[in-house]
Chain A
Amino acid sequence: MEFLDTVTLSRLITAMTLIFHIIFATLGVGVPLFISIAEFIGIKKKDKHYELLAKRWARGFVITVAIGVVTGTAIGLQLSLVWPNFMELAGNVIALPLFMEVFAFFFEAIFLGIYLYTWDRFKGKYTHWFLSIPVVIGAGMSAVFITTVNSFMNSPAGFTMVNGEFAAVNPLEAMFNPSSPTRILHVLGGSYVTVAAILATIAAIALLRKKGAAAYHKKALKMTVISIFVFSIFTAVAGDVSAKYLAKHQPEKLAAAEWHFETEENADLILFGWLNEENEPVGEIRLPGFLSFLAHGDFSSEVTGLNETPEDERPPLIIHYFFDLMVSIGLFLLGISFLYLVLSRFKRFNVHNRLMLWMLAASGPLAMLAVEFGWVFAELGRQPWILRGYMTVEEAATSSPYILHMFFLFLALYIVLGTLCVRTLRKLFKDNPVEVELEKHYPELSKGDESA
């Protein structure tokens, strides 16, 4: 069975774990920031609504963090279990950021525990808020460090190769390899946009259902939509810089993403479409010269085509769709948040109309899809390499015959975890809706809430 060789299975098992983990990792990076912002606004404006927002987000966050921790542990161990040859080689160069990632995670874990269990323990309100800062920093730093590891795999640096072994290793140079800066910015920005969009989705759905506590949800929506706008600009800029990086250092990935075969000047940007039997794009939207602009900031510049890359080193052409979908969703998020902010300036216009709310409700799931698409694009785009230019995935994978069993073991685990997570979150918030909680803890607010 050619399809089920150990290499393919190793790839599938890692892909499955990561696709599942990324959902919770993204939440883990982003949610603490918004909890912290909400609590700060709540204290500053003496607005109990924001305080409750922070509390309720934190409560849901605990559930997702638990899954993030356990799937993160899984991928950490799987690196050595599924790719032992890779870790033996690369461990010499990338151990430092991996190690530092664990430190950041440790730091975050300690303060998250303290933060969650000390809501009413301190006299000064800012003392408790202050505890959220190390959580935000820890979460961000783990994303930074782990992204440098992945960047190293895309653009290895900081060593020389002598007889198949690494020599003259410079750990810092390996960590801050050429692709690290742009990828770190894109990952952080993307995580913050996505989490803002997910929190906006929650508020939009609540408003659509008209269950009450409208003032509370409107505040949540405004705060998160502003964040979507700010961070999606940030992410788009980082994405653009990433594309320019690819054009320069990893041209085969950009060429495969854009189905750009012949090296040419004034290259067209191809949106969607499909390939016919001669590998020519059909049914596509063509933006003349825009690929050159994307790659080098100049419409007439030359863009390297895929034909320059040896055939057995080319990434799969399917990554075109992932790239296009990621970019489209990113532009949608930017557009919808901009529209909301502009329209909310007009007092006579009801910005909370159903169409707007529906679009905002869609933005969370779409943003999470964009994160997944982006990662699939980035990872498939460096095939067949695990260490670009140095080691292929075939040389890196385990040879254990039990990998198929492990695939199903983990598949079962993720199905169980995913189901339980959704059920627990639903139950947690359904059994204790905002209205009830507002009335119980802040009776002064629930009166006249509907009018606001």
Chain B
Amino acid sequence: MSYEIVGITVLWLFLYGYLIVASIDFGAGFYAYFAKVSKQDHITNKLISRYLSPVWEVTNVFLVFFFVGIVGFFPSTAYYFGSALLVPASIAIVLLAIRGSFYAFENYGSKKSNTYMFLYGATGLLIPASLSVALILSEGGFITEEGGVVSLLYKTLFTSPLSWSIVVLAMVAVLYISASFLAYYASRANDQPALQLVRKWALFWSTPTIIMALTTMIALSQHNERHFENMLDLWWIFGLSVGSFLVAAGLLYMGRNYGTAFIAVMLQFFFAFFGYGMAQYPYLLYPYINIEDSVTNPSMAVALIVAFIGGLLLLVPSLILLMRLFLFDADYVKGKK
């Protein structure tokens, strides 16, 4: 395999990792606020805060990892995406900052205030929306380059059905992934009232997720035919995604095997996300950045891959330790530790 394929696969894996862990986190923020407003917070809050406390910082690192990695492997992404995304990415930074720091302030500082809960919930949905702008841009047609100045075409961006489909898809997917994880977590904790509530949420958000996925496909077929055609060629990957969706929804509906159901949800997004990425090949930003042309020099690529393997040898055991101590320690989940 060539360096650029290894590079983009690794990065795509990390982006996928971020998608899952961040969705759980962002969705949980929204649900925490929703439960408070609908006076159900006594059922869910303990569950949500117990999961979130030890992992919020780790979630953030996945994102940093991705954007540092992509600039390293493909330096021209810094030029195009960096120039075009100044405003949306800065907004995302501010939202992430509000969320990350307020989390610590509130948890260790004072009592839960309504304003804070609202910000916490709202940022949970706005961050995915602002981050998905990067994904929208990569489809091409939203930026211009004139005389060495790259600018984002805001009007095209805000009036495009594709951008709205992707933004809404990002938001509903967050809620769906998060609810199905919380259902699994509640079943581990054997917390029946919370389980019934979050199971309802998961089932509720499964439908819009699949509808928005279809809408996005249609919008994409009109906006970037090349990408759409490639996706049709990879139909079997998307078939696996739909199959996983059916398994997950079925198990959630029957109310059993929540662990398997969550794995199915993860697979559903895994296939869809990889299919989407593979179909975009060889572009990172249509038509400006071609993967093969923009990859960094070979010595740096090798160094990055070596660093990556070394890093993983360090990270994977630590992550397993973290999960064993908090996610999969039955006593901790139940609140006994």
Docked-complex contact B82 and A84, CB < 8 angstroms: yes
- Report the Cα distance A105→B81, complex, angstroms: 24
Asked whether A63 and B94 contact (CB < 8 A) given A106-B58, A171-B300, the answer is no
- The answer to whether A428 has its CB under 8 Å from any CB of chain B is yes
Kindly state whether residue B109 has any CB partner on chain A within 8 Å: yes
Contact assessment for B311 and A400 in the assembled complex, using a CB-CB cutoff below 8 Å: no
Interface residue A215 (Cβ < 8 Å from any Cβ of B):
no
Minimum distance in angstroms from A26 CB to a CB of chain B: 17
Taking the complex as formed, is B105 at the interface, i.e. its CB lies under 8 A from any CB of chain A? yes
Contact of B68 among A71, A99, A107 (CB under 8 A): A99
Residues of B close to A91: CB separation below 8 A: 71-72, 75, 78, 296
- Interface segment, A108-116, A262-270, A285-293? A108-116
Cβ of A59 under 8 Å from chain B = yes
- In the complex, the answer to whether A113 meets B69 with C-beta atoms within 8 Å is no
Decide yes or no whether B110 CB sits under 8 A from chain A.
yes
Interface of A is mostly: helix
Is B96 a contact of A169 with CB atoms below 8 Å? no
Q: Which residues of A contact B303 (CB under 8 A)?
A: 96, 171-172
Residue-wise, chain B 300-337 has the 8 Å CB interface mask toward A (1 for contact) of: 10011001101100110011011001100000000001
Which chain A residues lie closer than 8 Å to B196 at the CB level?
none
Q: Please state if A81 and B105 are interface contacts (CB–CB under 8 Å).
A: no
Q: Is the CB of A77 closer than 8 A to any CB of chain B?
A: yes
B90 at the interface (CB under 8 A from A): yes
Chain B residue contacts of A114, Cβ below 8 A? 54, 321-322, 325
Q: Which of B93, B109, B299, B308 contacts A74 (CB 8 A)?
A: B93
Contact B83 A95 (CB under 8 A): no
| Contact partners of B72 in chain A: CB under 8 A | 91, 95-96, 98-99
Q: Mark A152-178, 1 if CB is under 8 A from B, else 0.
A: 000000000000001101111000000
Residues of A within 8 A of B89 (CB): 77, 81
Cα A417 to Cα B55 in complex, Å, equals 21
A65 within 8 Å of B (CB atoms): yes
A334 and B256 CA atoms in complex are apart in Å by 66
B2 contacts A by Cβ under 8 Å: no
Is A402 within 8 A of B87, CB to CB? yes
One of B59-67, B164-172, B221-229 contacting the partner: B59-67
Stretch at the interface among A30-38, A373-381, A403-411: A403-411
Complex CA gap A333/B118 in Å reads 45
In Å, the complex CA distance between A428 and B72 comes to 41
Given contacts A81-B82, A92-B75, A410-B94, contact A113 B299 (CB under 8 A): no
- Check if A95 sits within 8 Å of B73, measured CB to CB: yes
Q: Is B110 a contact of A424 with CB atoms below 8 Å?
A: yes
Residues of B within 8 A of A423 (CB): 109
B207 contacts A by Cβ under 8 Å: no
Q: Decide yes or no whether A15 CB sits under 8 A from chain B.
A: no
Q: A84-B78, A99-B69, A413-B94 are in contact. Are A69 and B100 (CB under 8 A)?
A: yes
A226 interface residue (CB < 8 Å to B): no
Rounded to whole Å, the gap between the CB of A137 and the closest CB of chain B is 11
A109 adjacent to B58 (CB under 8 Å): yes
Contact across chains for B81 and A118 when beta carbons are under 8 A apart: no
CB under 8 Å from chain B, chain A span 386-411:
398-400, 402-403, 405-406, 409-410
Q: Give the docked Cα–Cα distance between A76 and B89 (Å).
A: 11
The CA-CA distance from A170 to B303 in the complex, in Å, is 9
Q: Which of A59, A78, A85, A402 contacts B79 (CB 8 A)?
A: A85
Interface flag for B190 (CB, 8 Å): no
A67: chain B residues at CB < 8 Å are 101
From the candidates A112, A166, A409, name the one contacting B57 in the complex (CB within 8 A): A112
The minimal Cβ–Cβ distance linking B213 to chain A, given in whole angstroms, is 28
Which residues on the B side are within 8 Å of A354 (C-beta)?
none
| CB of B5 within 8 Å of the partner chain | no
Which residues of the partner chain B approach A420 to less than 8 Å between Cβ atoms? 101-102, 105
Interface residue B85 (Cβ < 8 Å from any Cβ of A): yes
Q: Knowing A102-B61, A113-B322, A409-B94, say if A80 contacts B296 (CB, 8 Å).
A: no
Q: Which of A101, A403, A406 has the most CB of B within 10 A?
A: A406
Contact between A169 and B299 (Cβ–Cβ < 8 Å)?
yes
**A73-B97, A92-B297 given as contacts; is B325 within 8 A of A118 (CB)?**
yes
- Separation of A165 and B322 alpha carbons in the complex (Å): 43
| Chain A proximity mask over B39-60: 1 for CB below 8 Å, otherwise 0 | 0000000000000011101101
List, in ascending order, chain B residues with CB within 8 A of A72's CB: 64
B90-A406 in contact (CB<8A): yes
B86 in the interface (beta carbon within 8 A): yes
Query: What A residues does B97 contact at CB under 8 A?
Result: 70-71, 73-74, 413, 417
- Residue of B whose beta carbon sits closest to that of A115: B54
B178 within 8 A of A: no
What distance in Å separates the Cβ of B333 from its nearest Cβ neighbour in chain A? 13
C-alpha gap A79/B76 in the complex (Å) = 13
Distance, CA A70 to CA B319, complexed state (A): 21
A170 with B75, Cβ < 8 A, contacts A73-B63, A113-B55, A413-B94 known: no
What is the minimal beta-carbon distance from A25 to any residue of chain B, in angstroms?
14
Bound Cα distance from A105 to B63, whole angstroms: 12
Chain A window 111-127, contacts with chain B (Cβ cutoff 8 Å), 1 for yes, 0 for no: 11110111001000000
Assuming the contacts A99-B304, A406-B87, asked whether A111 and B318 have C-beta atoms less than 8 A apart, the reply is yes
B103 nearest CB neighbor, chain A only: A66
Residues of B within 8 A of A99 (CB): 68-69, 72, 304, 307-308, 311
Q: A residues touching B (Cβ–Cβ < 8 Å)?
A: 59, 62-63, 65-67, 69-74, 76-85, 87-89, 91-93, 95-96, 98-103, 105-107, 109-114, 116-118, 121, 134, 166-167, 169-172, 398-400, 402-403, 405-406, 409-410, 413, 417, 420-421, 423-424, 427-428
A and B contact pairs by CB, cutoff 8 A, 10 listed: A70-B96, A70-B100, A70-B101, A80-B67, A88-B75, A92-B297, A96-B303, A99-B72, A410-B94, A424-B110
Q: A114-B321, A116-B54, A417-B101 given; name 13 further pairs at CB < 8 Å.
A: A80-B81, A84-B150, A88-B76, A95-B68, A101-B68, A103-B315, A107-B318, A111-B318, A113-B53, A113-B57, A113-B326, A114-B322, A420-B101
Interface residues of B (CB under 8 A from A): 53-55, 57-58, 60-61, 63-65, 67-69, 71-73, 75-83, 85-87, 89-91, 93-94, 96-98, 100-105, 108-110, 148-151, 296-297, 299-300, 303-304, 307-308, 310-311, 314-315, 318-319, 321-322, 325-326, 337
Q: Which 8 A-B pairs give the minimum distances between C-beta atoms? A: A95-B72, A91-B75, A66-B104, A87-B78, A84-B82, A80-B82, A424-B109, A70-B97
